[in-house]
Amino acid sequence: MTRHFLRDDDLTQAEQTEILDLAIELKKDRFSERPLAGPQTVAVIFDKSSTRTRVSFAVGVADLGGVPLIISTANSQLGGKETAADTARVLERQVAAIVWRTFAQAGLEEMAAGTKVPVVNGLSDDFHPCQLLADLLTIREHGGALAGRIVTFIGDGASNMAQSYLLAGATAGMHVRIASPDEYAPQEAVVADATRVAETTGGSVTLFNDPVEAVTGADVVVTDTWVSMGKEEEKALRLRRLGAYRVDEQLMALAHPDALFLHCLPADRGYEVTADVIDGRQSVIWDEAENRLHAQKALLVWLLARA
């Protein structure tokens, strides 16, 4: 049966580990896997803007011997003119896999249900699972084992990044803490799913309002923009409500002295994070951005040849 990667808990802990192990190998020997030789094509579709996802999938597909076909929804028939299911049936006759950055998670589910080629979530309103593979790879590189580590996400707890941290962190056996105001708490269903996963991996999930409490003793501190794509009209309200959730040096000082700082980028320096933290000694954001390439290549190899 075709495997898709629509949300972080589509992988078991063992599968997630296998993909991260493979990513480490691919980072050492970049052209060692060629599952797309032919070359076969991977469609990479964008309903929203992107720099990292676009570049890392384009480069990654080429590294794997294939050809990336980058499609903007704005000048395709997808997005109002044709359904995701019909698009999937057209694409599957010609491409080896579909990557889609979109708004509603339901669109990805419709796409996946309608096709026999793997569908990968390149970011939705609810989840950013490819980013989490890169983040977990970065934490492994800099900090070793994932299981048992405390990771604290601070800010918009309802964002795709926070919700992916819940699911992917729980899958990895990490202790995931989210600090957010009530207005931006993660969806209850996602918290419930992450809690269920954590029970099987030895991890845990805890929600906080207080960033100080949440960050104390953390091994990894993470934040993301307060104004995700699609939320631009709420900017003023969000800046007001999230103002107390800025990651600055004072807050970082409460985490473990060797704690890592991660941010998926793009960052609004001075809002969710101060420049001294994002550019400081604990920040691993450039490795994190590079690791999108290695992690997604491993994911594609796994989906196409090993799942």
Neighbours of 130 (CB within 10 A): 26
142 noted as active-site residue: no
Q: Which is nearer to ligand CP, 53 or 121 (CB)?
A: 53
Member of 132, 137, 161, 190 binding ligand NVA (CB under 6 A): 161
Member of 152, 228, 283, 291 binding ligand NVA (CB under 6 A): 228
Q: Tokens at residue 144, please? A: 């070793």
Verify binding: residue 225, ligand NVA, rule CB under 6 A. Answer: yes
163 noted as active-site residue: no
Using the contact rule CB under 6 A, the part of the chain among 46-54, 172-180, 207-215, 247-255 near ligand CP is: 46-54
Q: Which is nearer to ligand CP, 262 or 277 (CB)?
A: 262
- Could you tell which of ligand CP, ligand NVA, none binds residue 51, using a CB distance below 5 to 8 A set by kind? ligand CP
Verify binding: residue 238, ligand CP, rule CB under 6 A. Answer: no
- In the bound complex, what is the minimum distance in angstroms from residue 51's beta carbon to ligand CP? 3
Verify binding: residue 62, ligand CP, rule CB under 6 A. Answer: no
Q: Which of 12, 70, 113, 37 is nearest to 304 (CA)?
A: 37
Verify binding: residue 230, ligand CP, rule CB under 6 A. Answer: no
Verify binding: residue 53, ligand CP, rule CB under 6 A. Answer: yes
- In the bound complex, what is the minimum distance in angstroms from residue 165's beta carbon to ligand NVA? 11
Member of 71, 123, 221, 284 binding ligand CP (CB under 6 A): 123
- In the bound complex, what is the minimum distance in angstroms from residue 108's beta carbon to ligand NVA? 14
Verify binding: residue 159, ligand NVA, rule CB under 6 A. Answer: yes
- Could you tell which of ligand NVA, ligand CP, none binds residue 95, using a CB distance below 5 to 8 A set by kind? none
Q: How far apart are CA 64 and CA 272, in angstroms?
A: 36
The residue assigned the tokens 């890169």 is 134
175 noted as active-site residue: no
- Interaction site with ligand CP (CB under 6 A): 50-53, 123, 131, 264-265
What residues are labeled active site?
101, 128, 131, 224, 264, 292
Give residues in contact with ligand NVA (CB under 6 A): 123, 159-161, 224-225, 228-229, 264
